[in-house]
Structure 1
Amino acid sequence: MNNKKKNEGQTDFSYYGLYLLDYLRTNKFEQASDAAFIRERADRAAEMYEKARLEGYATDGAQELAMDTLLRGLRYSRYAILREVVENEFSDEVPEEKREAFIHKLLPLVGNVFSVYDLSDDNFALSSDYDLLYTELTGATVLYIGEYGV
């Protein structure tokens, strides 16, 4: 029954809408509860696919363009980046069964660290800013664990 309630209101999403909804939920983006945002993105992705096919793109190429349209500006979530830091740098300190709760507890406390970085840049992970953010989050996590533990 819980799954039924969780899936209510999603039955009218297209393939792209369902894909985006899953992606947003998995990576804990704030837009996961914004049906209008999801529909608008999904519609643009479907239009891109159709346009690309009409222009002669192969199915795979059209799909790639549609997915780029669907996910543009949504490559990096605060949650996913913090999860990466915790998994890579603190696997010994934060046991796997406690990571999810730990990340949820820590995320609001490091919000100001994220505020100076543009996570909507699809090339953010390739920039030196990503390395700076990663280092700052690692430091903030060290301080938190030192002060409060896991």
Structure 2
Amino acid sequence: MSAYDRQSNTDDRRSLYFTDQGWTGGKVFDYAQDGVRQFLIDNALFFLNEYRIDGIRYDEVTVMHYHGGDVFCRDLTSTVRYAKPQAIQIAEYWAWDRAFPVTGVPDGLGFDSALGDGLRDALRAVCRRLLVVRAARFTWTSA
């Protein structure tokens, strides 16, 4: 989407939807813009209503938090909760304060659950250990 709202050969600060800051190969939404926030909330409502989904997993909520998206997250979770109270809202949140995304509005972001990096880090550690053990088995020594 970031390629569609810019004129060619212009700087990244002239976007309708995004900031000039990137994250993992894409641009960060401009959460300070009312129209951007409404566009994203409308998308969530569209999926709830048209596809009758029973929940939403929000990717990279930590990035939203670090780029001024707290008000947006509160508006989003409150609107989704109003539209479909039984829909679960899961945040992918990597920051140190694990309670913040699942604390209710206005003190937190209002998500029902949050995924952290504890399981990911534990699995990576196990995989690294297995690779070390496997490599040790096949180490050749010359006599």
TM range (shorter): under 0.3
Higher helix share: 1
Q: What TM-score comes out, normalization by structure 1 length?
A: 0.25
Q: Which structure dedicates a bigger proportion of its chain to strand?
A: 2
Q: Give the number of the structure with larger relative contact order, counting CA–CA contacts within 8 Å between residues 6 or more apart.
A: 1
Greater Cα radius of gyration, structure 1 or 2: 2
TM-score normalised by L of structure 2: 0.26
